[in-house]
Structure 1
Amino acid sequence: MKDRQVLRSTTPGRISVVPLAIGLGVLLVVSVLCGVGLGAAGIGPGEMFGLLWAGTTGGRLPASDLASYTIVWEIRLPRVVLGAVVGAGLASVGVAVQAMVRNALADPFVLGISSGAAVGANAVILLGAFAGLGVWALSVSAFASALAAMALVYAVARSPHGLTPLRLILTGTALAYGFEAVTTVMVFGAARGEAARSAMMWLLGSLGGATWAQVPLAAVTVAAGWAWLRWRAEALNALAMGDETSAALGVRPGRLRRELFLVTAAVTGTVVAVSGAIGFVGLMVPHVARMLVGSDHRRVLAVAPLAGAVLLVWADLLSRLLLAPAELPVGVITAVVGVPAFLLLMRRGGYAFGGR
């Protein structure tokens, strides 16, 4: 009983979790509607709701509305939904990685998996690899190279003492530099300028190629990963206290870290394969959640995915609107908006990793 109390004895948050989660859920719904309704092609609120209702119920539309229907249902809505899924996944994995390596600067990409995925994605964009897979070529190649990077990181970082935080960070960082070097050579060696531009867009993150076919796998993977992390939240609390403390509390840190590595790698590889390397979400959102609700992972994992989803939906919307009809990479928006907001919260909150 005492051990269970220790596992749950974390700094309390300033805001109750339930009202905050409900508020973020409502904000997410509003954000999705804004993401669907706003864009280069103007669609009024009434028309948007009518098109959404028609698509949901299978109602018939006049021929004059078919173009707007295509924009809403086939272009904007899958993009916004996928953005919410990716944001939730990156935020959830960010929480897990920071606990796994006990490092406040860790994010889902510190393990080098996203850099590995970039090699596969650019092989398709720049070299035309896996052309026989058609529209799935980019996602399949990125996911396959992410799995290969995961296996390589695991093989190199593993030691007789298990997966230690330092070895994971050093191995992931070193291999990430190697993968980035390969990607850079591919970009500079590209014969076509437009292909190089597309590669750079993917490296900074983009949801421009979102389709309904990509949503189910990403959503199921993110949901399953989040459910497992939520189930193991008390073990994450123990792991964040250090290996000796967690072992004393009955948690096997080596085994838990291996499980975390597999879960975070699977979720990261899946979301990166469909969205590119969108940075800063997995770094910033977990810390913001801790500022609001404390460091207990049960509470953090209840609000971080919703906050990540809201952030990425709005970041993607801004990436479409600021230079319309051209688009900015989503990663640029998350950095430009997130960095000053994060620094402001840090200064006002008196925040320290794992508590206050």
Structure 2
Amino acid sequence: MLKRIGYTAGGFVLIGVLAVAILWGLSVGTVQFSLSQIFNIVMDQFSSPLAIDDPLNGPEQTIIWLLRMPRLLMAAIIGAGLAVSGVIMQAIVKNPLADPYILGISSGASLGATVAILFGIGVMFGENFVGIMAFIGAMAISFGVLFISNLGGRPNSVKLILGGLALSAVCSSFSSFVVYLADDKEGIQTITYWLMGSFAGAKWDMLPFIAVVVLVSIIFFWSQSRILNMMLLGDEVAITLGRDLHTYRQVYLIISSLIIGFVVYAAGMIGFVGLLIPHLVRMTIGTNHWTLIPFSALGGSIFLVIADGLCRCIIPHAELPIGILISLIGAPTFVYMLVRKNYGFGGE
């Protein structure tokens, strides 16, 4: 009982930290605002909302409500989705080094974006065709991994990893081949920037759909905490307990890939979040997915909101792609976790 109360209090603390991080993110950037300005603009918008093209919109209203608020909310949603996807992938393949991109999903998304930018494939989808093609690529690779893992018998965590690695290598090779054939300097620069990740393109009309997909998926995985705990024990133990994890593993992989596909569509490629956040949470509260999933979601949200704010203030009058900053933070942290003797699913 006391432990449950402690977890509840910890959750409210993280929600408070997330709210503070969003307020800080609204205040920093090329143009800085005080908390009183932010509060007044947000309250005015709630009391009498203005349309995007309303002439009454002042520069402060435009910057805070139309530019910074949607990108920070998008960062929070995507951070939660990436962190929870990392939790699920690590349980599916029973590997503490897994992250949302281990099964080749990132390479599939990269290939989809590459052919869209360099060859114009998918322009019928409208102005967001690059993100949509990346989403299609990510989902196609996910189903490809499932297909390969089912060849020659029932799939398991090892076959999923090997199938993902094989398809990742194929997609990376095709992406390089497409870039070589295209000989388009401007297109290559666009691909490079897109692969670095950014929330600059976040808009209010994008948020509801992505938020519903990510939050509903997180709630679903939260309801599956018992099965996810069982996955860490292995298939043999699960069968003795009356559970066949074969179907669960495939369903979880598809839903996780759905989250990653929409993340890639909205913000490009952002790594390390799904690898680092779950382990930091495990080292704090343990391995029970009932608490691990919501705490990882909040941790991922806080992490990306703060990272997005830092990207807008590290370099004066410029914005650092968030993928670069995340890699600079994530790589040394990952090395540190590797050398820890109790590295694994919760340590010793």
With normalisation by structure 2, the TM-score equals: 0.91
Structure 1 position 237 matched with structure 2 position 229: yes
Percent sequence identity over aligned pairs: 33
Q: Deviations over 1:167-225 (max 9, x none)?
A: 11011112112212222333455554343222112212221211112211211111111
1:88 counterpart (76, 80, 85): 80
Q: Is the Cα contact below 8 Å between 2:86 and 2:99 reproduced in 1?
A: yes
Task: Give the aligned partner of residue 21 of structure 1.
Answer: 11
Structure 1 position 57 matched with structure 2 position 47: yes
Aligned partner of 2:233: which letter?
A: M
Task: Give the aligned partner of residue 186 of structure 1.
Answer: 178
Offset, 1:351: 4.2
SS at match of 2:30: coil
Task: Give the aligned partner of residue 223 of structure 1.
Answer: 215
Q: Distance in 1 between matches of 2:336 and 2:132?
A: 39
Q: How does 1:332-343 map to 2 (within 5 A)?
A: 332-341=324-333
Q: Is the Cα contact below 8 Å between 2:70 and 2:204 reproduced in 1?
A: yes
Mean Cα deviation higher: 72-81 or 178-187: 178-187
Offset, 1:111: 1.3
Structure 1 position 137 matched with structure 2 position 129: yes
Change beyond 3 A, Cα 1:317–1:60: closer
Q: Distance in 2 between matches of 1:183 and 1:54?
A: 48
Aligned partner of 2:19: which letter?
A: V
Structure 1 position 280 matched with structure 2 position 272: yes
Q: Distance in 2 between matches of 1:36 and 1:189?
A: 43
1:209 counterpart (201, 209, 215): 201
Change beyond 3 A, Cα 1:27–1:53: same
SS at match of 2:22: helix
Q: Is the Cα contact below 8 Å between 1:113 and 1:265 reproduced in 2?
A: yes
Indicate the RMSD between aligned Cα atoms, in angstroms. 2.4
Stretches of structure 1 lacking an aligned partner (at least 5 in a row): 1-12
Q: Distance in 1 between matches of 2:307 and 2:290?
A: 27
Aligned partner of 1:302: which letter?
A: P
Q: Is the Cα contact below 8 Å between 1:295 and 1:355 reproduced in 2?
A: no
2:110 counterpart (115, 118, 123): 118
Mean Cα deviation higher: 185-194 or 118-127: 185-194
Q: Distance in 1 between matches of 2:48 and 2:179?
A: 45
1:326 counterpart (318, 325, 335): 318
Equivalent residues, number? 343
Task: Give the aligned partner of residue 314 of structure 1.
Answer: 306
Q: Is the Cα contact below 8 Å between 2:93 and 2:157 reproduced in 1?
A: yes
Change beyond 3 A, Cα 1:145–1:342: closer
Task: Give the aligned partner of residue 248 of structure 1.
Answer: 240
Offset, 1:350: 4.2
Q: Deviations over 1:116-164 (max 9, x none)?
A: 1112222233333333433221222121222222222221121354321
Structure 1 position 97 matched with structure 2 position 89: yes
Q: Deviations over 1:15-35 (max 9, x none)?
A: 942222111111111111111
Q: Distance in 1 between matches of 2:116 and 2:173?
A: 17
Q: Distance in 2 between matches of 1:182 and 1:243?
A: 35
Q: Distance in 1 between matches of 2:168 and 2:246?
A: 23
Mean Cα deviation higher: 126-135 or 17-26: 126-135
